[in-house]
Amino acid sequence: MVVLDTCAWLWMCSESTKLSRAAREAITREQRHDGLVVSIISAWEIAKLVQKAKLSFSIPCSEWIEGAVRADGVTMHPLTPEICVESTELPGVFHGDPADQLIVATARLLGAPVVTGDRKIRDYAHVATLW
């Protein structure tokens, strides 16, 4: 099992060439076992990027997300009270992006690495990452 950060999920579904080789291999491996976990916060984060015109699709955002949610191997993980609290109590120093905090908290509670190209997440010593 791996947790995909927002960009990894986005790129898996639309621009796989932006993923590193190791990320593509991990995604392919975990797709076979329904082992791709995506925090529901990633759907919100993508919708916000579209709203702010920092991202666009050739189809409505809701249709893109509907398809991405059904991508092979993907399981959408809900926000739970445990994840919400964990995101505010991450050990050490982690940056202030709430979506990243929730994704990292999800991965930590599931005991799974985060597939991410985000240097801030990769530099955080308290969660395993793949890239």
Whole-structure pTM value = 0.95
* Arithmetic mean of pLDDT over the chain: 97
- Residue 26's pLDDT is 96
- The position carrying tokens 């985060």 is 114
**pLDDT the model gives residue 86:** 98
pLDDT band at residue 28 using 50, 70 and 90 as cut-offs: very high
Quote the DSSP letter at residue 61.
H
| Phi-psi map region of 91: left, alpha, beta (phi>0 left; psi -120 to 50 alpha) | beta
pLDDT, tens only, 31-57: 999 999 999 999 999 999 999 999 999
Q: Kindly report, residue by residue over 47-103, the tens digit of the pLDDT.
A: 999 999 999 999 999 999 999 999 999 999 999 999 999 999 999 999 999 999 999
Identify the band that residue 4 occupies on the pLDDT scale cut at 50, 70 and 90.
very high
Domain map (residue ranges) of the chain: 2-130
Q: Which fold has domain 2-130?
A: Rossmann fold (3.40.50)
pLDDT of 88: 98
